[in-house]
Amino acid sequence: MDRSSLLQLIQEQQLDPENTGFIGADTFTGLVHSHELPLDPAKLDMLVALAQSNERGQVCYQELVDLVSDTISSKRSSSFKRAIANGQRALPQDGLLDEPGLGVYKRFVRYVAYEILPREVDRHWYFYRHRSCPPPVFMASVTLAQIIVFLCYGARLNKWVLQTYHPEYMKSPLVYHPGHRARAWRFLTYMFMHVGLEQLGFNALLQLMIGVPLEMVHGLLRISLLYLAGVLAGSLTVSITDMRAPVVGGSGGVYALCSAHLANVVMNWAGMRCPYKLLRMVLALVCMSSEVGRAVWLRFSPPLPASGPQPSFMAHLAGAVVGVSMGLTILRSYEERLRDQCGWWVVLLAYGTFLLFAIFWNIFAYDLLGAHIPPPP
């Protein structure tokens, strides 16, 4: 049942004979339960609770029509968000943790809901709406590709730690090198190469532990956009701030995901129900800071003689900035249309401006500044 047919139903049954624009909460409750609406029971409970929240026992049926339309559709508009935020409703108080008799996969879905979402109404919405198809293939595919590439180069070079010190490593067509800036694909494909087993293990672990749950909740399109935006921002930032350095590793995308998730947890601290959240927050920050410190050490104090500069650490920081800006906007917009939010367009404008600046920088600045970059391998 769409918006127009529901409005017609209200008018035909003369639920508002005086055309006041309001109907009684009990009348709406009966309407919802007496007509077949393609909604899960939890979503019906939400709508009925919203209808009953009005102190005078009357609700604006145009707003409720909007809510029903939003609930039936795949994305909720701002009308649902306003009703959730402003309505003093009596939603069921029992949480998903009290759901009995769940299978293994449904328990995992419930775990993801409490890990990612800060509000009980959103957790219910996700839990009852979630479908196992399509699965979170993006993060799993990226991680698998990174592992395969690492194993291939490890076997070829017979080196599994600090691979960047091998003279043949930088000859890969995947690595970003300032001498190969014209090969634009390298600004993205460097994410498949890693310094060694320690960097790959750290990135893969975070991609699976944080990236996969985020993709399950927010979808492939949004999370892949955030991850790739972090990767691209990482290589472009290095080309501006550390002009002689190459880049390898998927840390730009990883830090975009992690910083967005951590920022979302901090901003919704009271609503997050994930266990040991303070301890886990501290551990995550320590691990991420340690990885940045290791990258800085390898960049400026290489432990082995090398033929050129070692990979830059600026991709980590650029990814974190993308996560706090673009990523936080995405994560705070669960099941809402991004195009309806002014903040989303501001973030896109800022990111687009950065891309244009970085493109012109790579075309003109190296020659104008006389940058002495190492010869490409």
Per-residue confidence in pLDDT tens, the chain, 377 aa: 445 555 566 555 556 666 666 666 667 666 666 655 555 555 555 555 555 555 555 666 555 555 555 555 555 555 455 554 444 334 444 456 666 778 888 889 989 988 998 887 778 778 877 888 888 999 999 999 999 999 999 999 998 988 888 888 989 999 999 999 999 999 999 999 999 998 999 999 999 999 999 999 999 999 999 999 999 999 999 999 999 999 999 999 999 999 999 999 998 888 888 878 888 889 989 999 999 998 999 888 877 776 677 889 999 999 999 999 999 999 888 867 888 888 999 999 999 999 999 999 999 999 999 888 888 77
Residue 86 is predicted with a pLDDT of 46
> Does residue 130 lie in a domain region?
no
The answer to whether residue 91 is domain-embedded is no
pLDDT of residue 26: 67
Closest to 216 in 3D by CA, of 299, 291, 279, 132: 132
What is the predicted pLDDT for the residue at 87?
A: 44
pLDDT at residue 59, rounded to an integer: 60
Give me the pLDDT at residue 373, please: 86
Tell me if 39 sits within 8 A of 31, measured CB to CB: no
Amino acid sitting at position 134: P
Residue 319: predicted pLDDT:
96
Cα 86 from Cα 273, distance rounded (Å) = 22
Catalytic amino acids?
A: 251, 316
Which residue has 């959240």 as its token pair? 277
**Is residue 271 domain-resident?**
yes
What is the pLDDT at residue 229? Answer: 97
Residue type, 258: C
Would you say residue 226 lies in a domain? yes
Residue 101, token pair as written in the block = 């008799």
Domain count, the chain: 1
Distance of CA 109 to the CA centre of its chain: 17
Supply 174's token pair.
């995947």
Residue 51 lies in a domain: no
Please check whether residue 9 lies inside any domain of the structure.
no
CATH number at residue 297: 1.20.1540.10
Spatial neighbors of 42 by CB under 8 A, at least 6 apart, are: 124, 125, 127, 128
Strand partners, 23: 59
Q: What is the residue range of 315's domain?
A: 137-369
Q: Is residue 113 assigned to a domain?
A: no
Task: Give domain status of residue 232, yes or no.
Answer: yes
